[in-house]
Amino acid sequence: MEQKKITQKDYIVDGKEFEPFIRESDVLLRNDEYIVIHLDGVHFTSGFFRNFPKEKKKKVFDCLVNATKTMCNYFKSSRVAYVYGDEVSIILQGDLVKENYNNRIQKLCSIVSGFLSVKLIEELNKINDAAFSEFINNCFFAAKTYNIPFHLVNDYLKWRLVGCKKLIFDKKLDFNKCESWEQYGAIITYDNNVWVSENIDFRQFKFQKSPQSEYFRINKS
């Protein structure tokens, strides 16, 4: 039997009954606040990462930082990001709706988790280390996203810093003998048209935007 031509109207008519179900879960984030996307490695820390020697852990961490910078470049609404362990937080400007895929929660989570997983694998492949072969096949991320008010960006980032420091104590390690990337993670800011990272204890500083820029920077004065 010959297939008759199917039009866009046919497609819409057949799918009409499913629209309420789709709309029910296709939730939008607010556009008058910042958007946090938080990503967490799925099982690769317990399964692989923790068994690496420190120098290889540092390589993985550097790859994750580089992958996050690439993600910040991809999302033109990115304003600041933070990386520690196998966790990444990126803060987007909520009113740049078009750049945020219309602030759709499911769209943001699925795109960001896939994007970061692919970019981390690309970075790891550049190293060409056989020790990472099995790890590469298992490094992917879960994502969640939510709004935070403008005035809570500082508090949010410092809360993540506390989580970074806590990891060391959870492992019963000597904090003072750990390297700065382990102690403080990497804060990623936009400076002179480039995303840059620092491994610093920023709890005594403040994240601010200048009148000429929408990006957050660390005020160290």
Q: What is the pLDDT of residue 18?
A: 86
Q: What is the pLDDT of residue 113?
A: 95
Long-range contacts of 116-121 (CB under 8 A, 24+ apart): 116/39, 116/67, 116/68, 116/71, 116/88, 116/141, 117/141, 119/66, 119/67, 119/70, 119/71, 120/63, 120/64, 120/67
How many whole angstroms separate alpha carbon 123 and alpha carbon 131?
14
Q: What is the pLDDT of residue 130?
A: 86
Q: What is the pLDDT of residue 159?
A: 97
Q: What phi and psi, each to the nearest 5 degrees, are found at residue 6?
A: -105, 125
Q: Which residue has the tokens 């937080």?
A: 89
How many whole angstroms separate alpha carbon 22 and alpha carbon 105?
13
Q: Which residue has the tokens 């096949």?
A: 137
- Please choose, from the candidates 75, 76, 84, the residue with its C-alpha nearest in 3D space to the C-alpha of residue 178: 84
pTM: 0.91
Q: What is the pLDDT of residue 19?
A: 87
Q: What is the pLDDT of residue 115?
A: 96
Q: pLDDT tens, 22-63?
A: 788 889 999 999 999 999 998 776 667 778 888 989 999 999
Q: What is the pLDDT of residue 172?
A: 93
Q: pLDDT tens, 155-185?
A: 999 999 999 999 999 989 999 999 999 999 9
Q: pLDDT tens, 84-120?
A: 999 999 999 999 999 999 999 999 999 999 999 999 9
